[in-house]
Structure 1
Amino acid sequence: MNVQRFLSSGIIELYVAGMASVQEAQELEAAMAQFPDLAREVEACRRDMEQYVRLQAITPPPDIKEHLLRMVADETTKYTD
């Protein structure tokens, strides 16, 4: 099994993002079980992606929950009357 293929192909990133094909995911998981360094790479990629997502997150306005619940209630009322 060629670990370098996983490191240079983008499969790790697809896997972490949940976008790898079933076959790619199975191959990567089998390789991670066999090669601890590869498993560490996948975990590092996961941490990096999580950090990136947190840094890009936008805090919603404080009243958004109330607004959305009101909209849902209005729609529910429309269909139950």
Structure 2
Amino acid sequence: MNAQRFISSGLIEMYIAGIAPEQDAQKLEAAMVQFPEVAEAVDASRQGMEYYINVQAQHPPVAIKNNLLLLFRAEKE
């Protein structure tokens, strides 16, 4: 398989998400060594997913965190 087929196959996204079949993940890892453009595509996709996750993240109010910590501490005692 050539570099462009790896890049356009959707395998990179599955790999980053951790849902690529083991055999396909191994092929992609070998392609990252063989083809610098595949490694760059994996890195760019990883950064894009991390950015999206951070933008969409919702942080609970601090009071909820504090209340949960109090509950955990109370259970330990």
**Which range, TM-score by smaller chain?**
0.7 to 0.9
Q: What is the identity, as a one-letter code, of the residue corresponding to 1:41?
A: A
TM normalised by structure 1 equals: 0.80
TM normalised by structure 2 equals: 0.84
Higher relative contact order (CA 8 A, sep 6+): 2
Stretches of structure 1 that go unaligned for 5 or more consecutive residues are none
Identity %: 53
How far apart are residue 71 of structure 1 and its match? 3.1
Moved over 3 A (4+): 73-77
1:4 aligned residue: 4
The Cα RMSD (Å) is 1.6
For residues 3-42 of structure 1, the aligned pairs below 5 Å read: 3-42=3-42
In 1, Cα distance between equivalents of 2:34 and 2:63: 50
